[in-house]
Amino acid sequence: MSAKNILIAGVGGQGTLLASRVLGKLFLSLGYDVKISEVHGMAQRGGSVVTHVKYGDKVYSPLVEPGGADILLAFEKMEAVRWIHFLKDDGMAIVNTQEIDPMPVILGTEQYPGDLDELLNELCSNPVTIDALSIAADLGNVRVVNTVLMGALARHLDIDVTKWEDAIKATVPPKTIDINLRAFYSGYNDCQE
Amino acid sequence: MKKLILGNEGIARGAYEAGVKVATAYPGTPSTEILESASKYDEIYAEWSPNEKVAMEVAIGASFAGARAMVAMKHVGLNVAADPLFTVSYTGVNAGLVIVAADDPGMHSSQNEQDSRCYARASQIPMLEPADSQEAIDFVKFAYELSEKYDTPILIRMTTRVSHSQSVAVLGRRDDIPLREYKKLPEKNVMMPAMAKKRQEAIKTRMKDIAEAASDMWINRIEMNDPSIGIITSGITYQYAREALPNASILKLGIINPLPRKLIESFAAKVDRLYVIEELQPVIEEQVKSWGISVIGKEVFPSQGELSANIIAEKVLGEAPKAGLPQRIPARPPVMCPGCPHRGVFYVIRKLGLHATGDIGCYTLGALPPLQAMDTCVCMGASIGMAHGMEKARGRDFGRKLVAVIGDSTFIHSGITGLIDVVYNQGNSTVVILDNSTTGMTGHQDHPGTGHTLKGNEVPPLDLVKLAEAVGIKHISVVDPFDLARVENVLREEVQRDEPSVIIMQRPCALLDRSPKAPVEIDQDLCRKCNVCLRLGCPAIQKKQDAVIIDQSLCNGCGLCISVCRFNAIGRTGEQDER
């Protein structure tokens, strides 16, 4: 299989690193070559962060290039638009509708764009949106937004969900397995077309 | 066993498998995980040293004493450790010594871009460059063989994308390497002119021998495909080139100093158009050109920032894969966390209109809007010497409007000598130590002030007050940075004082302080929309249309905004009635 490229974009602190680690375990367990490129250090402090995940028979560069992503999994709506040009023409965007204001917006020097939904529809065919924050809040833990989004992604990858379960169990802290699995399935079931 | 590991974990794993007994570092992105990972092996003594120079000296000592040793650092750390680096090249080693330098092309988390390969050439130390986690393991093990065979330290160059990419690697067993005999060898290990001159001969011979052997080393390989395009490359740029040019012939170098000349010449003879693809400086290109080989390099590839598969495709094939353009949307710069103990200090510095020489850490973010309370950031420890220099240049009146701001870990790293200079040379600098009891930006590593070691042992913490006293500082204050009134009073008083002073702003990093505090909220009836709370630059305080609100899911309850609100409009959630 030629390499498949997934870009995970979000805001530092949203748990994108954990999500990429679940994906890494999953693809490795399926026998694929895998590379994941992460951001550490300064950008993690509430900045725009992106993780590159690539898998296939053989992966060379760990980085997804502009125009090269099969899937963009965006943890925040404006971050979806920031990274949308990384999608292939026929690539798919899965977008959490959560909005997090960056500092220039907080200070009122810039506006949080009001036309992001239109932009997303214009820039990619059929973006899939999900309100992962509300789903996580309903489950009683806003920190599982990342696993809800994993569920949404699982809906669009043709991989046995029990494999996902195993990867999640092997990655999250043991005490949180139950809530994370519930979050995963909530995301999986919410994300029907 | 096959595992998905970071390049940095691969370096640590290689050290473990090679029988390394002593590993040292000072944390620095993108190198930090090397020692964090090495410390998990019981067989390796691992330490955070106060700075990279000390780290390198500890590793050199261990090597001389007969144990395989490793020292790791980021590119700018190699500047700090450059003094021992250049001379350990002369002494050589007893047991193997590997020095890992992690460069940060693109400056993801650094103050500059440096090419550590230039250090390898300048110090005449062999250098290897892995391209993924498996090579990180294998090259480290090979480096120890080379180090002992040729009696030389070995440099390993990492870059951010190798250090911080996970790739699949096969883990092997540890070789139990016995200690080598320790012998007192002054002619080899005491570098003074007479001995050092003789050692220059040893360097010359060793570099010549390694250069000859390099062409046959398994860590280089030729992937012969279509001969119309040939590529010489190493490290992460190999991965980019392979992806961009699946049909090209590639010479992938594992050793990049000295270069395997015979191998390069024979490859050059087999291809029509030859490129050297390397990030940052034209280190390989200039050497290959000096041998009379025609190559294309920096005339087409940038020498600043990272390369990528798309850039390589565009420069070599004339067209990049199709991609849209980035959208124009607000930037999302990194910010201090909600509850960060640094925030209030910068708020007051700004309010008092002080100049601040700054330093390296999370608190460098105090230079950004809305705080904008930092004038300078050059290198680790620079804040103190620079404040002293500014006052010497502009006089005492300017000094009364100036403070130096430095974190606790950075102060221990290289601020102490600056403070000694201020006292010794009759300066009056006010030095603010932001003591959050950790090395924050790199992900919470211990240091001599925290009372814990990398191996998890409890130790007496370095006492910053006593240290400042011993240096000769007479005016030392310890202040809770959440007490803004006191922060302001102490700062006002100390900058006026015609003597040097130290103010220690003491409160743990918000990410480590788990004590629950109720979030706060704004009473919209009392709020006059003066926006003063927004000047704190807290991500939880947000302007929504006309109102200022506090995002309850982000607020950590530190209460700084309560202190800055003049209209008593902010209070703990659930305590509305008491206001």
CATH value at residue A120? 3.40.920.10
- Average pLDDT, integer, range B287-299: 98
Q: What angle do CA B529, A46, B541 make, to 5 degrees?
A: 15
Q: Are residues B30 and B153 in the same domain?
A: yes
Does residue B327 belong to any structural domain of this protein? no
- Average pLDDT, integer, range B6-17: 98
Closest partner residue to A102 (CB to CB) among B29, B332, B337 is: B332
Taking only the tens place, the pLDDT of each residue in B366-394 is 999 999 999 999 999 999 999 999 999 99
Q: Are residues B405 and B484 in the same domain?
A: yes
Query: For residue B152, is pLDDT > 50?
Result: yes
Here the CATH number for the domain that contains residue B432 is 3.40.50.970
Cα dihedral sign for B350, B352, B354, B359? negative
Cα dihedral sign for B244, B246, B248, B250? positive
Contact (CB, 8 A) for A53 and A150 = no
For A48-86, give the DSSP string.
EEEEEEEEES----SSPPTT-EEEEEESSHHHHHHHGGG
- Average pLDDT, integer, range B37-43: 98
The question of ipTM being above 0.90 is answered as: yes
Contact A61 B242 (CB under 8 A): yes
Quote the crossing angle between the two packed helices A161-171 and A145-155, to the nearest 10°.
160
Q: What is d(CA B402, CA B429) in angstroms, rounded to the nearest whole number?
A: 8
Give the type of residue at B233: T
Q: Are residues B197 and B232 in the same domain?
A: no
From B214, B239, B264, the end of a domain falls on B214
Query: For residue B577, is pLDDT > 70?
Result: no
Q: Are residues B36 and B128 in the same domain?
A: yes
Here the CATH number for the domain that contains residue B538 is 3.30.70.20
CB atoms within 10 A of CB B137: 27
Average pLDDT, chain B: 96
Query: For residue A125, is pLDDT > 90?
Result: no
Among B179-183, B204-208, B482-486, B508-512, name the one with the lowest average pLDDT.
B508-512
- What separation in angstroms does the CA of B108 have from each of B334, B356, B375? 12, 24, 21
Phi, psi (5° rounding) for residue B184? -80, 115
Query: For residue B575, is pLDDT > 70?
Result: no
Element (H, E) at B169: strand B165-170
Q: Give SS3 for B24.
A: strand
Q: Are residues B204 and B236 in the same domain?
A: no
Q: Are residues B537 and B573 in the same domain?
A: yes
- Average pLDDT, integer, range A14-31: 94
For the ranges A99-103, A137-141, B344-348, the one whose mean pLDDT is highest: B344-348
**B165: chain A residues, CB-CB within 8 Å:** 35-38, 62
Report pLDDT for B310: 96
- Average pLDDT, integer, range B235-248: 98
- Average pLDDT, integer, range B148-168: 98
The whole domain housing A139 covers 4-190
Q: Are residues B475 and B558 in the same domain?
A: no
Number of compact structural domains in chain B: 4
Q: How many CB pairs under 8 A join A and B?
A: 178
Q: Are residues B181 and B45 in the same domain?
A: yes
Q: What is d(CA B106, CA B454) in angstroms, rounded to the nearest whole number?
A: 29
Contact (CB, 8 A) for B230 and B221 = no
Q: Are residues B128 and B156 in the same domain?
A: yes
Does residue B330 belong to any structural domain of this protein? no
Query: For residue B578, is pLDDT > 60?
Result: no
Does residue B489 belong to any structural domain of this protein? yes
Query: For residue A43, is pLDDT > 80?
Result: no
Nearest to B15 by CA among B171, B144, B194: B144
Does residue B337 belong to any structural domain of this protein? no
Does residue B325 belong to any structural domain of this protein? no
**B362: chain A residues, CB-CB within 8 Å:** 42, 45
Report pLDDT for A46: 84
Query: For residue A42, is pLDDT > 70?
Result: no
Q: Are residues B452 and B543 in the same domain?
A: no
- Average pLDDT, integer, range B327-355: 96
Interface test with B, best of A8, A42, A54, A64 (most B CBs within 10 A): A42
Chain A, residues 39-98, CB within 8 A of chain B, namely: 39-48, 59-63, 65-68, 78-79, 81-82, 84-87, 89
Element (H, E) at B418: helix B416-424
Interface test with A, best of B160, B332, B362 (most A CBs within 10 A): B332
Contact (CB, 8 A) for B121 and B89 = no
The whole domain housing B250 covers 221-317
Number of compact structural domains in chain A: 1
* Token pair of B426 as six digits: 């009759």
The residue assigned the tokens 């937004």 is A145
Does residue B511 belong to any structural domain of this protein? no
Does residue B46 belong to any structural domain of this protein? yes
- Average pLDDT, integer, range A73-95: 96
Q: What is d(CA B394, CA B209) in angstroms, rounded to the nearest whole number?
A: 55
* Token pair of B447 as six digits: 């240091």
From B506, B530, B553, the end of a domain falls on B506
Cα–chain center distance at A9: 6
Give the count of alpha carbons within 13 A of B25, CB side only: 35
Q: Which residues, in sequence order, are CB contacts of B230 under 8 Å at separation 6+?
A: B248, B249, B250, B251, B267, B268, B270, B271, B272, B273, B274, B275
Report pLDDT for A108: 86
Q: What is d(CA B160, CA B30) in angstroms, rounded to the nearest whole number?
A: 6
Does residue B204 belong to any structural domain of this protein? yes
Contact (CB, 8 A) for B309 and B244 = yes
